[in-house]
Chain A
Amino acid sequence: MNSTNDEKVNLTAEYHSYMTDAITHSVMLDRDKCKGCTNCIKHCPTEAIRVRDGHARIENKRCIDCGECIRACQYKAKKAIYDRFEDFADYKYKIALPAPSLYGQFEEVNDLDAMLSALVELGFDDVFEVARAAEMVSEYTRKYLERNDSLPSPVISSACPVIVRLISIRYPLLLDNILPVMPPIEVAARVARKEALEKHPELSDEDICVLFISPCPAKASYVKNPLGVKKSAVSGVLSIGEMFFKMRAAMKTMREEKVQAQSGIIGISWAGTSGEASALFNEKYLAADGIENVIKVLDEIDNGNIRNLDFVELNACNGGCVGGVLNVENPYIAKARLQTLRRYLPVSLNRMGDQRLDSYEWDSLPEPEPVSKLSDDRHEAMRMMREIVAITHTLPGIDCGSCGAPTCRALAEDIVKGRAVADDCVFMMRDKLLKQCASLTQTEEKGETT
């Protein structure tokens, strides 16, 4: 059913570790390839990874599918799980939803029509550009910012699922700030289904499959665990990396261009940082990219230190969606190509029109998920915290990572939670051994003298 970047994954591999709960992630570990090197643990922004017994483990409820560990692993032991086109052969009507970042992958492309037509050549019945939905979301956002003076400020983009999940686990007070409209991928899927049913009255909704061609694993997780909506209208998520090669081959043999691109500068610009924000025609915005930067910005907003901003666009990946791990091209090169591509395009080709975007507002706000909470009982949590602080002070404090935890503090937390022991620390172990040696030699010496 599933495949990965370079090969089929051994699905007996440990699928997201010891915390089994409702969330199904797209980022997972290929246990056979993991060498237990501890390289990844320091790159995870939520401290979700531990190396234990020579292998990495990802704590399910902490993982936000940012893909940082995939970037960090030199053994390619971290994988993104996504769907394969072949698995949807049974559907009568297949719609491709290409992400705007896909457009920046092709060196030879100066014609969007050819690129989109390749998708039909590969077996899709129709193509709906996510860039079109992005233009609608931009229009919605402009109106939303105008109509509401009493909004929690600043309004934070809802487009990147990593950010929405990060906010739900770490910044519960900022959940109200998130733009309450579905992300372009979801709007695209819903409008595409509607248009298909109008064009082909003989079809029913179950006959249609909508497949997003994605730059990142987080979108695959989003579809399985939607945020703000009960069920996603997207049926599956394919990887840009895999589709890229198929599309390029199809473009060479293709005789006829069957699809016309329908997005403007605004929609295509969503592929890179500040594309979304600049489409608001309001200079009171901030656009940050890269997960570390994003966390800094969220900390500042959470502390009330960022004032006089109307809108904040946050992208987990460097450079925005063109920086997603499933892309083939360097993000900056892709972005430069997009600049050429969008050159003679109209500013925007998609208005809300009769697509009333109110019907694309979220069903409900994403729930806060305080994953770092030590215990539901305050006194127990405080007792644990006292122990954590005490143990942290006995550890060397150099955050070397040899124990398999990203920091000494994280090891202390694991010890208190019963998931590790002090001897996991190589320095504690060494001290203990040295003491044992010393007492041994002492007893030996005593033995010799008597």
Chain B
Amino acid sequence: MLAACFTKTDCPEVVCSMADFVRLEYDIDGENFTSAGEASVKVKRSLRQMGFDPETIRKVSVSMYEGEINMVIHADGGKATVDIYDDRIVIVLADRGPGIPDIDLAMQAGYSTAPDNIRSLGFGAGMGLPNMAKYTDEMKIESEVGVGTTVTMVVKV
């Protein structure tokens, strides 16, 4: 699986020829709230360059945007990995934040623990996770309190 790995630190010399997918990786900075949402804009741009249809691009960018914002607001940032195959796009958002104690509850529309200062920016409607589920074909949340959360989403093309 690790045919293509593009992180500078891991392996600067990349073997591209073996891969049948494109991997895009981003560090999501939890300290810098003003840059939240930038990774999904970059993903959108790359998908456009690869000629994916606008509807697919919107699904990916909306669901990734919500997940990215969640990582910044609720988990001090993390890592986003987007694997692009020609028939599906797999988004993995992994953080080492506080974890989600009750995933079913968190998935309910309207449930939010967002602090007030974030709410004043328009976040905290408790719609992020439900939207992510709505816009993707598959979604899986793995979370352990005190360890972190990994959200995996698949959008079929």
Contacts and interface: CB of A to CB of B under 8 A. Distances in A.
A383 B19 CA distance: 9
Interface string B9-25: 00010101001011110
A302 interface: yes
Main SS class of interface, B? mixed
Contacts of B49: 372-374, 381, 385, 413
B63 to A, nearest CB: 10
A390 interface: yes
B50 A390 contact: no
A413 B45 CA distance: 13
Interface residues of A, number: 28
A198 to B, nearest CB: 45
Given A302-B58, A393-B6, A382 B84 contact: yes
A386 B6 CA distance: 9
A201 interface: no
A386 B19 contact: yes
B50 A173 contact: no
Nearest to B87: A378
Contact of A299 (B7, B41, B46): B41
B62 A304 contact: yes
Nearest to A373: B51
A379 interface: yes
Contacts of B46: 385
B16 A386 contact: yes
A382 B14 contact: no
A374 B49 CA distance: 5
B146 interface: no
A389 interface: yes
Contact of B8 (A370, A372, A386, A393): A393
A382 B22 CA distance: 7
B12 A382 contact: no
A290 interface: no
B86 interface: yes
Could you say which of A302, A383, A386, A387 has the most chain B C-beta atoms within 10 Å of its C-beta?
Answer: A386
Contacts of B58: 173, 302-304
A107 interface: no
A372 B45 contact: yes
Contact of A370 (B12, B40, B41, B51): B51
Could you say which of B23, B40, B51, B58 has the most chain A C-beta atoms within 10 Å of its C-beta?
Answer: B51
A275 interface: no
Nearest to B85: A382
B151 interface: no
A314 to B, nearest CB: 18
B101 interface: no
Contacts of A443: none
Contact of B50 (A170, A172, A305, A381): A381
B50 A385 contact: yes
A375 interface: yes
A207 to B, nearest CB: 45
B104 interface: no
Interface in A381-419: 381-383, 385-387, 389-390, 393-394, 413
A387 B4 CA distance: 10
A385 B41 contact: no
Nearest to A387: B16
Contacts of B14: 390, 393
A375 B51 contact: yes
Contacts of B41: 299
Contacts of A370: 48, 51
A379 B86 contact: yes
A160 to B, nearest CB: 22
A389 B6 contact: yes
A376 interface: yes
A304 B49 CA distance: 21
B22 to A, nearest CB: 5
Given A386-B22, A389-B22, A373 B84 contact: no
Contacts of A375: 51
B64 to A, nearest CB: 10
B54 A172 contact: yes
A393 to B, nearest CB: 5
B24 A389 contact: yes
Contacts of A305: 65
B11 to A, nearest CB: 9
Interface in A84-140: none
Contacts of A390: 6, 14, 16
B51 A173 contact: no
A386 B20 CA distance: 9
Given A173-B55, A374-B50, A387-B16, A303 B62 contact: yes
10 contacts: A303-B58, A370-B48, A372-B49, A373-B48, A378-B50, A381-B50, A382-B50, A386-B19, A390-B6, A393-B7
Interface of B: 4, 6-8, 12, 14, 16, 19, 21-24, 40-41, 45-46, 48-51, 54-55, 58, 61-62, 65, 84, 86
Query: What are the 7 A-B residue pairs with the smallest beta carbon separation, nearest first?
Result: A390-B14, A381-B50, A386-B16, A173-B54, A172-B54, A373-B51, A385-B22
Interface of A: 170, 172-173, 299, 302-305, 368, 370, 372-376, 378-379, 381-383, 385-387, 389-390, 393-394, 413
Given A173-B58, A386-B16, A389-B23, 15 more contacts: A170-B48, A302-B58, A303-B58, A303-B61, A372-B45, A379-B86, A381-B50, A382-B84, A385-B22, A386-B19, A386-B22, A389-B24, A390-B14, A390-B16, A393-B14
